[in-house]
């Protein structure tokens, strides 16, 4: 079926329109078609373009083809009808536009409506891991004594992890520090072997290589050993190394520092004792024990009835170590210690199983906010 608007591409003469009545009928047909198209509210923009479009909209076509070509006799009727139709179309399109815009606004409002009755979003705050808290506590104590904190690589060569610490190849001390060796391209092409450090002691060597005495440092960090996990062992654990070297450091200063640390860390009533021990890189070497802070020294389950708890290894730096870093062993002296952070933390906070540190169970973590 042909539409009324199709006729707007022809002149009135071509359409055979010769009277004012016929003009009115033509415009009435256009208006009826427009009203039919404008019934719905959806596509006002498309309707606007097809009727009011400047180049080829229906009204432009009527102006070009009907008005401008109309005979002088018909022109007033065409002009009048065109003005009426234009007024009608403009008004209706404006209504449709308003309706479309307010529908869009309402939809947006409905979409973005804030439901104040919904529960709020809570983002639980995490806290520092107990091991981090223990590190911070140890660092605080040694910083107050004038020590500096340095960190070092977790991947080492056997030279720094063993040899320069006076542990030559085949030395039995290596047996207790079996670890993970890495296969790296550099090593495959003839470079030195690489291993995960078994203790933080290699940083003693790195530090003394880098700077002349005096040295007063602590080294917090991760270390690795091929130990089976149990209540007091892990294959990855944490240490804080300590090293002090100067021209006048005596065993007395070493003892005083150790006692001060233990009392600050575990409490003022704690007593310490030094027990002879052996490390290849300290001479003499000791194990530092603390009086049991559960029973006060009378004997209980924690201290296995001995009254004492083993805390960490330490000693005066073996002069042989100075030879590896070109320090003058005749002029300098010093002490070193290696704290097992996980075990110190277990002792201080009464944690029976070291594995709890690594399982990330929030029921455990929440107890140490």
Return the number of the residue (139 or 227) whose C-beta is nearest ligand FA5.
Answer: 227
Least separation in angstroms between residue 120's CB and ligand FA5 is 43
For residue 340, the minimal CB distance to ligand FA5 (Å) is 2
Q: Whole-number minimum distance, CB 218 to ligand FA5, in Å?
A: 11
Question: Would you say 89 or 258 has its CB closer to ligand FA5?
Answer: 258
Of residues 206 and 233, the one with the C-beta less far from ligand FA5: 233
Q: Which is nearer to ligand FA5, 34 or 327 (CB)?
A: 327
**Nearest distance from residue 247's CB to ligand FA5, in Å?**
20
Residues in the chain: 369
Least spacing, CB of residue 317 vs ligand FA5, in Å = 8
Phi and psi for 223 in degrees, rounded to 5? Answer: -135, 165
Min dist CB 341 to ligand FA5, Å, is: 8
Q: Give 190's Cβ-side CA count (13 Å radius).
A: 0
From the CB of 143, what's the least distance to ligand FA5, in Å? 19
User: In terms of CB distance, is 42 or 168 closer to ligand FA5?
Assistant: 168
The residue (of 160 and 312) whose beta carbon lies closer to ligand FA5 is 312
Q: Which residue has the tokens 């076509």?
A: 61
Between the CA of residue 130 and those of 77, 127, 178, 348, what are the distances in Å? 94, 9, 27, 11
Task: CB nearer to ligand FA5: give 27 or 308.
Answer: 308
By beta-carbon proximity to ligand FA5, the closer residue of 239 and 333 is: 239
Q: Which residues pair with 316 in a beta bridge?
A: 335
Shortest Cβ contact with ligand FA5: which residue?
340
Distance of CA 84 to the CA centre of its chain: 68
Please identify, using beta-carbon distances, which residue of 239 and 272 lies nearer to ligand FA5: 239
Residues that bind ligand FA5 (CB under 6 A): 199, 201, 225, 227, 233-234, 237, 239, 241, 279, 282, 312-315, 336-338, 340, 342-343
Contact present, 335 and 314 (Cβ < 8 Å): yes
CB of residue 159 to ligand FA5, shortest distance in Å: 16
Query: Nearest distance from residue 303's CB to ligand FA5, in Å?
Result: 16
Smallest separation (angstroms) from ligand FA5 to the CB of 219: 10
Q: Which two tokens stand for residue 45?
A: 């923009």
- The residue among 51 and 281 lying less far from ligand FA5, judged by its C-beta, is 281
């Amino acid at each position: 079926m042909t539409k009324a608007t199709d006729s707007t591409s022809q002149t009135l003469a071509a359409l055979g329109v010769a009277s004012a009545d016929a003009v009115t009928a033509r415009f009435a047909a256009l208006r009826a078609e427009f009203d039919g198209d404008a019934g719905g509210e959806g596509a006002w923009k498309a309707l606007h373009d097809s009727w009011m479009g400047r180049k080829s909209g229906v009204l432009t076509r009527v102006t070009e083809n009907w008005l401008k070509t109309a005979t002088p006799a018909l022109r007033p009727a065409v002009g009048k009808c065109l003005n009426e139709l234009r007024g009608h179309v403009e008004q209706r399109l404006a209504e449709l536009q308003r309706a479309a815009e307010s529908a869009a606004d309402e939809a947006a409002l409905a979409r973005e409506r804030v439901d104040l009755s919904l529960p709020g979003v809570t983002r639980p705050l995490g806290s520092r891991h107990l091991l981090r808290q223990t590190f911070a506590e140890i660092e605080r104590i040694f910083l107050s004594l004038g020590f500096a904190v340095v960190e070092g690589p977790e991947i080492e060569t056997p030279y720094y992890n063993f040899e320069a610490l006076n542990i030559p190849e085949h030395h039995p001390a290596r047996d207790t520090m079996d670890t993970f060796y890495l296969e790296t391209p550099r090593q495959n092409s003839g470079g030195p072997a690489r291993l995960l450090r078994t203790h933080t002691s290699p940083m003693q060597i790195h530090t003394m290589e880098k700077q002349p005495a005096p040295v007063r440092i602590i080294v917090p960090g991760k270390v690795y050993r091929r130990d089976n996990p149990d209540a007091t062992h892990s294959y990855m654990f944490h240490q804080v190394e300590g090293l002090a070297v100067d021209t006048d450091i005596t065993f007395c200063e070493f003892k005083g520092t150790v006692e001060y640390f233990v009392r600050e860390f575990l409490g003022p009533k704690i007593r310490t004792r030094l027990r002879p021990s052996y490390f290849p890189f300290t001479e003499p070497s000791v194990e530092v024990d603390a009086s049991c802070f559960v029973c006060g020294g009378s004997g209980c389950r924690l201290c296995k009835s001995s009254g004492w708890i083993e805390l960490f290894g330490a000693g005066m730096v073996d002069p042989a170590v100075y030879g590896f870093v070109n320090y003058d062993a005749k002029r300098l002296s010093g002490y070193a210690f290696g704290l097992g952070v996980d075990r110190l933390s277990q002792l201080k906070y009464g944690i029976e199983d070291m594995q709890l540190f690594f399982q990330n169970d929030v029921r455990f973590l929440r107890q140490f906010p």
